[in-house]
Amino acid sequence: MAAAAKDEQINGGGAPEWGVTVPEGASVTVENEAGRAAMAWAWLVSCVAALGSRVSGLAGRVWKIGSDDPRRAVHGVKVGLALALVSVFYYTRPLYDGVGGAAMWAVMTVVVVFEYTVGGCVYKGFNRATATASAGAVALGVHWIASKSGYKFEPFVRSGSVFLLAAAATFSRFIPTVKARFDYGVTIFILTYSLVTVSGYREDALLGMAQQRVSTVAIGIFICLAVCVLICPVWAGQELHRLTARNMDKLAGAVEACVEGYFAEEDGEAAPDKRRPAAAAEGYKCVLNSKASEDAQANLARWEPAHGRFGFRHPYGQYKAVGVAMRHCAYCVEALSGCIHSAEPQAPESVKRHLADVSTRVATQCSAVLREASGSIAAMTASRSLDFTVADMNTAVQELQSEVRALPSKLTGEPAAAQLMDAVQLFTVTSLLIEVSARIEGVVDAVDTLATLASFRSADDDEKPATEADAKPQTMSDPGSVEPEAARTTKNIEQV
């Protein structure tokens, strides 16, 4: 009552504007409309900011993918161009009248046939064309047989042929040769034969329908090949070639980084970081994970026409042999890395110092051999210094073996037997390093075979024009200043 009287006094003695009856002891919380609006705006702003950050992050990733390999963006443009060209057959009345409603098959052909590499496009195009033509021919033959069998038996003949051919074709996909080269063609054969055979039961002009589909598929394949080959082509053979050389460089860096990291000086805070494998020390993983890519690119490269120094009978299969040799070496490097970064007790520093220099020298020579072989593959040139580099590596390995055998006699201070027992990990590392050098020789043999089969040009052929150009003015100015050929050869061998 007192509150009501007070309200009446405030409002000039009139009736109160509003009133709330609250039970005794209860509490009332009145929310502020302005506060709720501010919270709503803050939530909306946070949502917009989160959406903007995600969009910018996605845009950054897309830009990085395109900047790492601009050919990916070009591939998208090429696919769009091929689809735009083939759609003309559907939009233009004279062309549409020529192929009929089957023009959409040309669009479908471009979508499923166009691949990133020329080899992939040729592979799919050839398989699709062959499978479509053969399936259409077989379907027409079965249609003729079914039509002569009578109205009652015709569905059984068609269904039985579909069952038998589909089962046989599907089983053929388990054959390794068919799986590697004609897997896509078998799938298209089953699809085309089933469609033509089943639709022929209700379609009178089966021959015309088959002709239209074959012609539209041929149009789509031709446009795909024209765009893929003529506009910034990506060759699977070249990709395989570069992948092999790049993996060999990474393997060389992994060998060198592992050994140098193991024999690095430890000083307090740097010791725990030494166990963290650096990016270069993990390069062997790229070699171990590249088998599927190598096999796929080698299979696609066989379908490519001759281009550059890659002829029709270029030994793409030998690249897989080089990859096998590199993986054989990479497994040993993986064991070496695992031993180095294991939790076993470290060898005493006094023992490690005796083998640090010679072990590092062996790792350096191993890396030099792999890099020389990689350069030979990348330039498609038979390296003259590869044999000398292998000889230097073997010499360093022999020095390491001699140092290991002579190690007990060089130990001082504590009993030699106790120090040698603590150096088990060190001996494991040196043994694996020697095994790595032996497996690197297998890589060199595979590279030499590749150079022979692929007819790599000799380094002398590259230097011959420059040598003749330099020797001619020198002969004219001072004939006596030109060294005999035997003297130059002897000097080069001595320098090596």
Tell me the C-alpha distance between 423 and 417, whole Å. Answer: 10
Structure tokens at 354: 């005796």
Q: Is residue 337 part of a domain?
A: yes
273 and 320 co-located in one domain: yes
* Chosen domain end from 196, 211, 230: 230
Q: How many CB atoms lie within 10 A of CB 379?
A: 14
221 and 243 co-located in one domain: no
193 and 242 co-located in one domain: no
Q: Is residue 306 part of a domain?
A: yes
203 and 90 co-located in one domain: yes
Tell me the C-alpha distance between 39 and 480, whole Å. Answer: 95
Tell me the C-alpha distance between 372 and 440, whole Å. Answer: 12
Q: Is residue 1 part of a domain?
A: no
Largest CA distance in the chain: 132
181 and 76 co-located in one domain: yes
Q: Is residue 211 part of a domain?
A: yes
CATH code assigned at 364 = 1.20.58.220
219 and 321 co-located in one domain: no
From first to last of the 496 residues of the chain, give the pLDDT tens digit.
444 444 544 455 554 444 555 555 555 454 556 677 778 888 888 888 888 888 888 888 888 787 777 888 899 999 999 999 888 877 776 666 666 666 778 888 899 999 999 999 999 999 999 998 898 888 888 888 888 877 788 888 888 888 999 999 999 999 988 988 899 999 999 988 888 887 765 655 667 777 777 888 888 899 999 999 999 999 999 999 999 999 999 999 999 988 888 887 544 444 444 444 457 778 889 999 999 999 999 999 999 998 888 888 899 999 999 999 999 999 999 998 888 877 566 666 777 787 888 999 999 999 999 999 999 999 999 888 898 999 999 999 999 988 888 776 666 555 655 556 656 778 888 899 999 999 999 999 999 999 999 988 876 655 554 444 444 443 333 333 334 433 333 333 333 3
**Ordered DSSP codes for 353-417:** HHHHHHHHHHHHHHHHHHHHHHHHHHHTEE-SSHHHHHHHHHHHHHHHHHHHHHHHHH--SS-HH
Q: Is residue 263 part of a domain?
A: yes
Q: Is residue 380 part of a domain?
A: yes
347 and 406 co-located in one domain: yes
* Chosen domain end from 205, 230, 255: 230
Domains of the chain: total: 2
**Which residues, listed in sequence order, are joined to residue 458 by a DSSP beta bridge?**
382
240 and 182 co-located in one domain: no
Q: How many CB atoms lie within 10 A of CB 268?
A: 6
Q: Treating both helix axes as pointing N-terminal to C-terminal, what angle do 103-113 and 118-148 enclose, rounded to 10 degrees? A: 140
* CA dist list (Å): 130 to 19, 101, 134, 488: 90, 22, 6, 60
Q: Is residue 174 part of a domain?
A: yes
Tell me the C-alpha distance between 482 and 485, whole Å. Answer: 9
Range of the domain at 448: 236-473
Pinpoint the alpha helices (H) of 11-117. 33-68, 70-91, 93-99, 103-113
Q: How many CB atoms lie within 10 A of CB 58?
A: 10
pLDDT tens figures, 440-464: 999 999 999 999 999 888 766 555 5
pLDDT tens figures, 291-318: 999 999 999 999 999 888 888 889 999 9
104 and 217 co-located in one domain: yes
* Chosen domain end from 196, 230, 264: 230
Q: Treating both helix axes as pointing N-terminal to C-terminal, what angle do 154-172 and 118-148 enclose, rounded to 10 degrees? A: 150
Tell me the C-alpha distance between 27 and 494, whole Å. Answer: 102
460 and 368 co-located in one domain: yes
100 and 241 co-located in one domain: no
Contact indicator for 102, 206 with CB cutoff of 8 Å: no
320 and 467 co-located in one domain: yes
Tell me the C-alpha distance between 248 and 69, whole Å. Answer: 21
Q: Is residue 378 part of a domain?
A: yes
* pLDDT for the residue 206: 67
* pLDDT for the residue 65: 80
